[in-house]
Amino acid sequence: MIAPLSLAYALPFRVVFMPGLEEGRFPAPERPTALDLFADDRRAGQVSPRERDQYWFLLRALGAREALHLSWVATEQSTGEARLPAPTVAELMHLMERSYVGKAGLKAMTVTHPLRRWTGVEEDRPYASRAAVREASSRRLRAALLDHLDDDDVPDLDLLTSALPASVRAKVASRLRLVEPPPVRTDEDRLRTLTLYLLRQFLESPLQGWASVVLRMDDDDREDPFAREDERFGTPVFLRDAALRAVLYAHARAPDSDLEALYHARADYLELSGVLPTGVFGAAERQRHLAALDSWKRELRRVSRGTMRAIDPIRFGRGRENEVVRRAEPPLPVALADRTLELHGNTQPLIDDPSTSLVFVGRPGRKADRVLELRGFVDHVVLSAAGRIDDEHTVHVAFSEGNPRKTWFDAFSPSEAQAYLAQLVTDLVGDAHAYALPFDTVVRLQKARARNRKRDMERILAEAPAARFGVLRDAQVRPLELDRALDIIDRRFGPYFARRHGDD
């Protein structure tokens, strides 16, 4: 039985045009697809996509009453390499040459168009536009001028235009369509703002943090949902924690709300989005997620002295759409030696009494615990520099499983915090950081340094990875000398180790 769509191709037309018949594009390649229900058990009479295209080609060709035009791109524009027609067209041409018109007849029937619009204008091509004729004439005139002049006598266009008066130069530039290039951006112009996220990233991994800020080498590991073919059996950790934190923050703003109902509403949306698994795997995940939320909620009540209250962050500078914050502050200026840079971004969720940054994560890890403290430490520095706190600051890390981690830092004066921020930003933008010194390596070095074990410190430096995350995590970098590494630690993390109190 012929499908209704195929009948349209069988209708007669005086002239039929079929473009785009390049090799690789037509007919459709034999690619497996989950929508082909006959792929594993194909029987007689069931056509593949390639056979379907060949059948439609036949119907189109038979529908032509006076002329049939088949066309394809015969030359690769970027390389100039020849491109072949589709196998179906090549087979038809071979059949025409062998059985009907011969080689001379087939050559007479084949028309090769020029690749560029000015090519062949001197041969009075009927399809050449006036613009193409003018461009071809200009090219011939330019070639004749270059043949007449020596290489040393060829005038420079920039020199000629700069020698003209401003009024004449504007007319010439308009006539020749010369565009004034934008001014070259210097390093001072290129970096005017910095986010708290990138500052924390620099402290965690200086190589990747510097590359993200200066070279714009961001790690884009976001999964394309349309490229995923198989069903998800578990939620990625970073998506899970972000979703659960959003539910907890919404419940903290409205303590009378039902936490479980808030979660299920969010989970239903994420399940439809393909983030959460479905079926029995989804049901098991939801139970674990609710247990994690219940653990976080108990910890939040304990830190908040038995009450539930909003723990939204404080935003400095620009914010994202639909973002909920406790309050919006102006961007924090950081005075460098040659310019003033602005800090934008959000702190961690906060409570005021006592001043505490809250970090909610999943299971504790061997190396991630101390890194999590950096988030609250950066909050402490930024809030002190802005004059929002003048006392010690606590960082409370709550895990979905296991005991929480509590650390506190002695107070900064606003001037001390501003000077320390300026030092961090200067380090970030003023050096290439082509070495391996992630934060967990810094912690290990500091412990070995306290025990005065030089050999252990050298071994730790030699084994340090380039970066713990990002596009440079597998990069090969030169080893850092021990004395220089200790100088960097004192300059960059001295206030952190000097002011820190808590369990190691």
Average pLDDT over residues 210-230: 66
Q: What is the pLDDT of residue 205?
A: 87
165, with CB counted inside 10 A (0-12, 13-18, 19+), is exposed
Question: Is pLDDT at 421 greater than 90 in this prediction?
Answer: yes
Q: What is the pLDDT of residue 190?
A: 53
**Whole-angstrom distance, CA of residue 430 vs CA of residue 422:** 11
CA angle 436, 470, 208 (to 5 degrees): 45
Which residues, other chains included, contact 403 with Cβ-Cβ below 8 Å and sequence gap of 6+? Answer: none
Distances (CA, A) of 22 to 63, 78, 91, 188, 322: 21, 16, 13, 50, 48
- Say whether 212 sits in a helix, a strand or coil: helix
Question: Is pLDDT at 155 greater than 90 in this prediction?
Answer: no
φ, ψ at 165 (rounded to 5°): -60, 160
Q: What is the pLDDT of residue 8?
A: 54
In this structure, which topology does domain 4-109 adopt according to CATH?
Answer: Rossmann fold (3.40.50)
Q: What is the pLDDT of residue 3?
A: 46
Q: For residue 117, what pLDDT band results from cuts at 50, 70 and 90?
A: low
Question: Is pLDDT at 121 greater than 70 in this prediction?
Answer: no
CB 480 within 8 A of CB 456: no
Q: What is the pLDDT of residue 1?
A: 36
> Where in the chain are the domains?
4-109, 204-219+431-502, 225-310
471, with CB counted inside 10 A (0-12, 13-18, 19+), is middle
Q: What percent of the chain is modeled with pLDDT above 90?
A: 17
Average pLDDT over residues 269-293: 87
- The larger pLDDT score, comparing residue 472 to residue 268, is at 268
The pTM assigned to this predicted structure is 0.61
> pLDDT by residue (tens digit) across 9-57?
567 889 999 998 888 888 877 766 666 666 666 667 677 778 888 888 8
Q: What is the pLDDT of residue 125?
A: 55
Least confident of 176-190, 399-413, 477-491: 176-190
Least confident of 96-100, 337-341, 405-409: 337-341
Q: For residue 5, what pLDDT band results from cuts at 50, 70 and 90?
A: very low
